[in-house]
Structure 1
């Protein structure tokens, strides 16, 4: 069981990011992505830190597993696929839409009561089919609709008001904030609005990794363990078909991982080893190779991470280079640029 004490909020400052990924074209480093990385050991100690892991930052959707834990703590009765969807940044596939409708149905609510923004499906192929079919952006298709449906369900079960469930002062959001602080082990530095319209809480990268570790090591049957189990057992529901986070959970047994906009990823293994990544410029192309390198430094077999270790760079339709972790992150496997 983790300590109940909560440290002071992280400092809001310009993060001291460091090189974490290189864009290599034809043997020459053409570009550098800066960022920060933390690797935690099973005992919670910091085994590796690159950049600034203590500055205040926004985890974006990487915080959704924590939000899901908070909703379970306040009475949300979901499990399995629907709980995975609660913590999802989904692709907008029919299974995701059907699952969100099911949560609303269980709550006795309608789609027009959702307060997330309208959007097209996140997955490019699904989005193209959606547009080709003449369908307009909707709240249901937006990638956070499962979380919002679960928020409404939680509010309904507690007899809390529904129209203002996204207000940071709402009882639901206060309960979520308390869980964020309990699991990250630190006070929230700032509160703003996420892309979907929900409150977004600023913590540190270190705190985000600590929260993931606490979720995967929680006792069976607890809200934390229920969220971890649901996401690991239904990774496509927690993301989508063909998404890198679902493929990563399939490739590494017992791994829990969640991505977030602006180059964020968090991951944790059943024994509490955990990593968290923030790409400074928000580039998604660097997120996966950096996260894979961090997991390798965490002790995951590099063979299981091979397909995630680099991202190909094309020139004239041919692979002419790659995006790969910087030397400070993967010094034993980094190539020589000649």
Structure 2
């Protein structure tokens, strides 16, 4: 099916680009409250899956056995910007495990936060694996491996007990089996789910129906700056919602949200992979669900030229503006 237009990009008063996509909202009992577009075809969940990938870390007892803080649990769910507030605690976490940056399977990555990248270059240093946006997730994987008493080497392979625990959690929460999978940018496996199944899994966390799920959601909401970083949409949205929802970006236009007050899960996929489209779409859905105030202005993004002048905007389509949920 052809997905509806969810987001428009304008230049002056003319629509220049369009982003099509799909949205699913599911409650803690697995009931689909809202669906728009193709919500049944599998799509890779990318980094929006991280709260579920972190679930075995908590459910196994590894988080408590190694004394992980709430901030470290937030980092396990993060796609951070490589700022010092991200890299320093991951380094300390690894040291506590008796491991080092070289034990991370994710590769080096230039910090997304430009001042951090500039400071690194000015110090004559090169980006390392700690700067990878997924270093917290990988530290969580290593913690689970240590707790299970299995080799840390190869923890990123699908046949390793760590990734088998992640797969089991994804299948259990989503209700889907025989999942298509591929290797994510950070070298760990990632799984494809229909949006309704992904939203169902997220709702299980939001509704507290799985041991440790609510703990991870609360950690994300308590530390939004660690989940994203300075100026990032995930961070700004969670700060604006003040504990009413946790949100998580994924590559290729994927977005997830978990609403603990209502036990709802939200999954969004933009067809062309544009994150800007997914940010606008999830903001509108969160406004419709009553957890994000429209006056926060997160559902419309200005388009700036190199002089910093506003020359257009990324905005919701009329069809998306008109939706009602529930």
Q: 1:119 to 1:228 in 2, by over 3 A?
A: same
The size of the alignment, in residue pairs, is 317
Q: 1:187 to 1:124 in 2, by over 3 A?
A: farther
Q: 1:39 to 1:298 in 2, by over 3 A?
A: farther
Q: 1:133 to 1:188 in 2, by over 3 A?
A: farther
Query: How far 1:319 moved relative to its partner?
Result: 1.8
Spell out, residue by residue over 1:32-54, the C-alpha distance to the aligned partner (whole angstroms, 9 max, x if none). 11111123356543333222111
Spell out, residue by residue over 1:85-109, the C-alpha distance to the aligned partner (whole angstroms, 9 max, x if none). 1111111111211111122122111
Partner residue, 1:8: none
The runs of at least 4 aligned residues of structure 1 exceeding 6 Å deviation read none
* 1:143-292 matches, cutoff 5 A: 143-218=133-208, 222-252=211-241, 253-270=243-260, 271-292=262-283
Q: Distance in 2 between matches of 1:234 and 1:302?
A: 20
RMSD over aligned Cα, in angstroms?
2.1
User: Which moves more between the two structures, 262-271 or 126-135?
Assistant: 126-135
Q: Distance in 2 between matches of 1:158 and 1:34?
A: 43
Q: 1:129 to 1:66 in 2, by over 3 A?
A: same
1:325 counterpart = 2:311: no
Partner residue, 1:111: 101
TM-score norm. by structure 1 comes to: 0.88
Partner residue, 2:23: 37
| Contact preservation (8 Å) 2:203, 2:264 | yes
Query: How far 1:75 moved relative to its partner?
Result: 2.9
Higher helix share: 2
SS at match of 2:129: coil
SS at match of 2:269: strand
| Contact preservation (8 Å) 1:214, 1:272 | yes
Q: Distance in 2 between matches of 1:135 and 1:17?
A: 45
Partner residue, 1:57: 43
SS at match of 2:173: helix
Q: Which structure 1 residue ranges, 5 or more long, are not aligned? A: 1-14, 334-338
TM-score norm. by structure 2 comes to: 0.91
User: Which moves more between the two structures, 324-333 or 277-286?
Assistant: 324-333
Partner residue, 1:124: 114
The equivalent position to 1:311 in structure 2, one of 298, 301, 322, is: 301
Q: 1:43 to 1:158 in 2, by over 3 A?
A: closer
| Contact preservation (8 Å) 2:19, 2:277 | yes
* 1:83-98 matches, cutoff 5 A: 83-98=73-88
